[in-house]
Structure 1
Amino acid sequence: MRIKLKHLPILLLPFSLSLNAQEMKGELNKEFKRQEKISYILDYPQKVKGNVPLIVFLHGSGERGNNLEMVKAHSPFTYKNLIKEPVAILAPQCPADSWWDTMTLYNLIKEIQKKYKIDTSRIYLTGLSMGGWGTWKLAMEHPEMFAAIAPVCAPADRIMEANIDQFKQLPVKIFHGGNDDVVSPMNSIEMYQALKKVNPTVTLTIFPDDNHNSWDSTYSDPKFYEWMLSKKLNK
């Protein structure tokens, strides 16, 4: 499935870049082979017959690097006992000093589908902070892959708002802390307001007493998993 996305020159991410640029024109017509490397943890249920749902979790910037155990922090791994049916949980690790590469993530999920018995109609995506940004971006580029998404305390940008129609068929729940002083809750509020126009089912939860750690309130709620696992793609 080929998706045409709109591109805007200005991002709303919480940092700025200053570049000196020279305008050059040219044409590139060459086939590239892309090498991809990413580490991950996959929690896969044992002694289960048939295909299982897959929850993909994207961590925040503090868990980048090469210590895979870090990706379990602040994640659904911590609350597996709240999930009432067998599920697989996939948590890749973003390299140090990088942001999520959505092409690599997409290919990783496709590879996991090939290697394990995954119900492709029940693949879910969630992430916090930088991983929430990755959740928005990956779902924007491949909305057909996911049965539901849940960005948590996520930065957003104008490219996502410009392509808001990409999310109009997706079940989406957005979460943020009202006192977040790392990523302003306005990121989630503005995405919610834009998305509500094309997707009336979207919901926004603001935890009024939470700072940037709204992942605790989100992932510790059994109803979060009940909602997510109730969604299924029509295939």
Structure 2
Amino acid sequence: MGFSQNRNNNMKLKLKHIPLLLLPFSLNVNAQEIKAELNKEIKRQEKISYILDYPKNTKGNVPLIVFLHGSGERGTNLDLVKAHSPFTYKNLIKEPVAILAPQCPEGTWWDTVTVYNLIKEIQKKYKIDASRIYLTGLSMGGWGTLKLAMEHPEMFAAVASVCAPTDQVMTANIHQFKDLNMKIFHGGMDDIVLPANAFNFYQKLHPVNPTAELVIFPNDNHNSWDSAYSNPQLYEWMLSKKKEK
């Protein structure tokens, strides 16, 4: 009697577990694998404020320097974008150039798609030498500089990043920088964006672009933009470069 009762109990336990064992199989039977493609034109609204310093009384096309500011200049006060920038040292630039400085909205980082489209729009509206477009930026703007250069290396004759944070997307796509004229500036004492950002990026960059230059200002903290932008040789180097057509 005891054996028969135990056997019945065991069978009940086993029967209770059968639906659970069958559940994954029933799910697999009901699932389907779908392979497809999204091919749809998506419109997006782009809005960005900017300052354009355009030389007067110029007859031909002029070079364009695009400057991306740091996080402290975000917002709606456009005059902020001229701080710590090529605007400050315009007297060091020996030929007529246009300087474009967009402003990043508060609480955001650079939308490089919008910046790219802004540059294209400036090219349509003004006499810009397409073979002499230069890109530079500091801190958050240095990150934006490297990101935009990675996405559109065909646009820029020279690129200079200053105290820039770098990321794994940039290093994973390091081949995008292989044909660019580049300078990477950083302060050796930078405790906001550590110099390791520049060292690690350059370590990946140099094998694919041996002419790229890493410049460390050993006594500078995060404000290495002062040393970079106050040097007339930066602008001489930039303006000596032309994009091959």
- Alignment TM-score, normalising by the size of structure 2: 0.85
Structure 2 residue 160 is matched with structure 1 residue 150 = yes
Shift of 1:99: 0.3
Alignment of 1:201 with 2:211, yes or no, is: yes
SS class of match (1:76): coil
CA distance in 2, matches of 1:199, 1:31: 36
Deviation at 1:93, TM superposition (A): 0.0
What is the RMSD computed on CA atoms of the aligned residues?
Answer: 1.1
Q: Paired residue for 1:169?
A: 179
Equivalenced residues, count: 211
**Corresponding residue for residue 63 of structure 2:** 53
Structure-to-structure mapping, 1:6-45, within 5 angstroms: 28-45=38-55
> Distance in 2 between the 1:196 and 1:217 partners?
23
Q: How does 1:82-101 map onto structure 2 within 5 Å?
A: 82-101=92-111
Report the Cα distance in structure 1 between the residues aligned to 2:62 and 2:40, rounded to whole angstroms: 39
Distance 1:117 1:189 in 2: 38
Out of 150, 167, 188, the position equivalent to 1:178 is 188
Q: In the aligned structure 2, how far is the partner of 1:104 from the partner of 1:68?
A: 17
Structure 2 gaps, min length 5: 1-33
Report the counterpart of residue 115 of structure 1 in structure 2.
125
Unaligned 5+ segments in structure 1 are 1-24
TM-score by length of 1: 0.88
The separation in 1 between residues aligned to 2:158 and 2:44, in whole angstroms, is: 29
Q: What is the CA–CA distance in structure 1 between the aligned matches of 2:42 and 2:206, rounded to whole Å?
A: 39
Residue 119 of structure 1 aligns to a residue whose secondary structure is: strand
- Which residue, 84, 87, 93 being the options, matches 1:77? 87
**Following TM superposition, where does structure 1 have runs of at least 4 consecutive aligned residues deviating by more than 6 angstroms?**
none
Q: Deviations over 1:75-105 (max 9, x none)?
A: 0000000000000000000000000001000
Cα distance in 2 for residues equivalent to 1:170 and 1:75: 22
Counterpart CA distance in 2 for 1:79 and 1:127 is: 14
What corresponds to 2:115 in structure 1?
A: 105
Q: Distance in 2 between matches of 1:170 and 1:29?
A: 32
Instruction: Report what 1:133 is aligned to.
Output: 143
SS in 2 for 1:201: coil
